[in-house]
Chains A and B, each alone.
Chain A
């Protein structure tokens, strides 16, 4: 086949090009021609189709970033905001942390193990790119019904992939979510969060500057895997041929990534790197265009120098390949030998593939023939932007008006069914496959409200992280649902005693070409931005995942919010379970009759309707302040946020944590069923030593935070006076039994003793 060079493109202006097949629309193709003043070469066409895909260009969501997130004050601690690979937040003591959550939804449905594994690999490289050492990962996951046959294919593969990659990198997995709902059938959500830490003066940026500087490709060889991942998989709706797209899924090598991490960190510390960018979605195309566009520089890449797995690869394949475990570094000619020496020390391939040039063109040659000659900004920054039509779905009002099923009497049997239901049961089957302790700084991990990790052994400075999202709430009211996701993650972080300081978000939605989905997206981003402003917490970055639908059926809109908190002293953290008898149990906040979209309505009746719980952000803020102060002053023995499954779930989880029960007495007024299963927001269950009860309730009173005395810790049951007594042994069997029954027995449970409950 003839090489389609720039010269040839100029000479054959009318040659037909397969732009539609590559995902470009008529007007987008016309725009490419206008930018170049000629038809694009085959290679250029491939590059534009990738970079202008929804996944890379954010063409449907970009207007909302400026309109909604642009309103949120940045705050004092944000050092790098949205736009770079991940936001960076100063945390004191000369340290900065960077964190971000991203989706890898479509690849994980097509090939669960590799899809999920490379999702971890990708987000870890984003964090590494900022100059940070990655120190933890988290995984918010969503699947179809727990007993659906395909869930048995997808879930074990995804969990094994996350574990297989993250464990091999030596990154503790400190939490996440596992949610089942039929709307995710055929569209599982695999979101991955990574956080890294660095000295403030080690922050790296992606700009390629300095004429004559060398462009170095580090890491794995480039192969044919993952070609078209972003345009084929991430930017289109699935039809029936999902698994047939397997060649578009990348294959991970965590060992190479571990070496890449160590090599890059050594280069950063030696101040050898002028600019750096990871290769993820859109591979070399993205890295070359983004680094040169960010530096407002020209660049010349010699494609034949790229080390290949298959010698027969063509230029457009090399540029589009999404082979994993690669980074692009810009270094001075003087530093090049040192950079290559460090790469060699770690067994990482380092290859000079180009240089920064004068001017503003990205030139790519293939054995001296020019195959690409473009302004890099036209690919990286000037992609199409759409203000997609929005329309409130016709069924939105009917959904809100759907009456709830009749409330039952609260019984032990109901409680046992609820704690055994797929969305409320123990996640031990999943998290035991993740290394949660490597690096030796994990202070809290699952099943705690938030993960807590120590940053400094000298000062005990640490961070807390939680992710939350509720697709049912967001389906019922996208504005409120997004706010509730933020409120819950914020509350979870504060529950451990950490001060919430920043958020990242992963916005998982259906097709942006559906006006109903776009309305959900618009409402959710508006709600999230309003809530950030009210809580005074900035967005550092995140990710949008559209096209999560099969045919015309979209997933429940699922904004997942990750909140970062800061603890001056991690030894002061508040755990979720109580160890002692005789502690006073209090519920902070107020319980209302709010069961719309609740876990009870879903688990017992497959009912989705009504209104989600009311949002009261002022209350969330006060609750957070009380929890942080209570933790700092040493007043709290335990605290557990109330959310899915309500007070009943929190009582069971906190009791089972260390095998100490709860003796509860309701003071009439509200029905016991509502007390136990309502999902009113802005609430937390706390256990306070009797000696501190007065001091703590006075703290609540001073801040205007309502509280209710529930009873005492102790005994071997969750006892609701006059309602029911549920023995812990029965609760544990129900809570722990569900996932092993669905996905296979727990390790060690089949021999001489049951699996150890300690954790």
Chain B
């Protein structure tokens, strides 16, 4: 059976349709999930998409964290549900304490959108297992508050336990600590990523198809399971 991957729409989500397209092109079935509906409708994995949930008011991701759907996602994530948070989704995962640290205003204070080179630092997560360790990929980055920060101890722990999933290469677009672009939880089922792999899935519309492997990785894991 084709795995079903849910994509949550919060008020102000913007890249939800793009995440659905990525799921579809990877070969899974995209399922639209609604922020106010606590049910995950039996999906096998969840993507929290980019955008400005609740207008980014108060603090990015701070309000989305209290959405009905998030309660269920936090609960299921503890049981191994694969969850990928992209950009605003990463912010929501940090606010929900599924991932440590926080995303703050870009150091240069501007929103920035560019094609960004990343190095995949860990292939032990369910979302990156099909990449090669140390592989360089190019995907778009676009954020105003993408500067990853955490205390030194947390950063050291992330590094030591192989939970830094991706790092910026060839220029850090937002001032993130240790050039961190993405991290995972200890179990490797929850990944937060500031750049947008769902915008690098077709040669026609992106810088290439490097981003698709995030989605085929989880798909392979779900099919094999």
**Chain B residues with CB under 8 A of A346:** 11
The answer to whether the Cβ of A438 comes within 8 Å of any Cβ in the partner chain is yes
| Nearest-CB residue, chain A, relative to B117 | A756
Query: Inside 8 A of B114's CB, which chain A residues have their CB?
Result: 432, 755-756, 758-759
Cβ-defined contact, B172 with A160, below 8 A: no
CB atoms of B11 and A756 under 8 A apart: no
Q: Are B116 and A756 in contact (CB under 8 A)?
A: yes
The answer on a CB contact under 8 Å between A254 and B204 is no
Q: Which of A163, A256, A454, A457 contacts B111 (CB 8 A)?
A: A163
Contacts of A748 in B (CB 8 A): 112, 168, 171-174
Task: Contact check, B112 vs A747: say whether CB atoms are below 8 A apart.
Answer: yes
Contact A437–B142 (Cβ < 8 Å): yes
**Residue among A167, A454, A755 making CB contact with B204, cutoff 8 Å:** A454
CA distance A726 to B138 in the complex (A): 29
* Interface set, chain A 311-338, CB cutoff 8 A to B: none
Whether a CB of chain B sits under 8 angstroms from the CB of A386 is: no
Main secondary structure of the interface of B (DSSP, over half): loop
Closest chain B CB from A747 CB (angstroms): 5
Chain B residues with CB under 8 Å of A570's CB are: 204
**Which among A254, A438, A758 is the interface contact of B142 at CB below 8 angstroms?**
A438
Min C-beta distance of A709 to chain B, whole Å: 31
Q: How many residues on the A side are at the interface (Cβ–Cβ under 8 A)?
A: 45
Q: A437-B142, A755-B171 are in contact. Are A164 and B111 (CB under 8 A)?
A: yes
Q: Taking the complex as formed, is A754 at the interface, i.e. its CB lies under 8 A from any CB of chain B?
A: yes
Binds B, one of A147-155, A356-364, A439-447: A439-447
- Complex formed: what's the CA distance from A163 to B52 in Å? 13
A432 touches B112 (CB 8 A): yes
From A163, A438, A752, B14 is in contact (CB under 8 Å) with A438
Which residues of chain B are within 8 angstroms of A441 by Cβ–Cβ distance? 205
Task: Tell me which residues across on chain A come within 8 A of B21, comparing CB atoms.
Answer: 440, 457
CB of A436 within 8 A of CB of B113, answer: yes
A440/B18 in contact, CB under 8 A: yes
Which of these, A259, A433, A752, contacts B11 with CB under 8 Å? A259
Tell me if A255 counts as interface (CB < 8 A to partner B).
yes
Q: Give Cα distance in the complex from A759 to B140, angstroms.
A: 10
Tell yes or no: A552 within 8 A of B by CB.
no
The answer to whether A437 and B205 touch across the interface, beta carbons within 8 angstroms, is: yes
| Residues of the B chain whose Cβ atoms lie less than 8 Å from the Cβ of A436 | 113
Query: Are A168's CB and B55's CB within 8 A?
Result: yes
- Say yes or no: B205 contacts A454, CB within 8 Å: yes
Q: Which residues of A contact B199 (CB under 8 A)?
A: 437-438, 440
Q: Is residue A590 within 8 Å, beta carbon to beta carbon, of the partner chain?
A: no
Decide if B170 is an interface residue (CB 8 Å cutoff). Answer: yes
A255 touches B142 (CB 8 A): no
What are 15 A-to-B residue pairs whose CB atoms are below 8 Å?
A254-B52, A255-B54, A255-B57, A258-B12, A258-B52, A259-B12, A432-B110, A433-B110, A435-B111, A440-B201, A441-B205, A744-B108, A748-B168, A749-B171, A751-B171
| Apart from A167-B111, A255-B11, A255-B57, 9 more pairs, CB < 8 Å | A167-B144, A170-B14, A259-B12, A440-B18, A745-B108, A747-B171, A748-B172, A752-B171, A758-B207
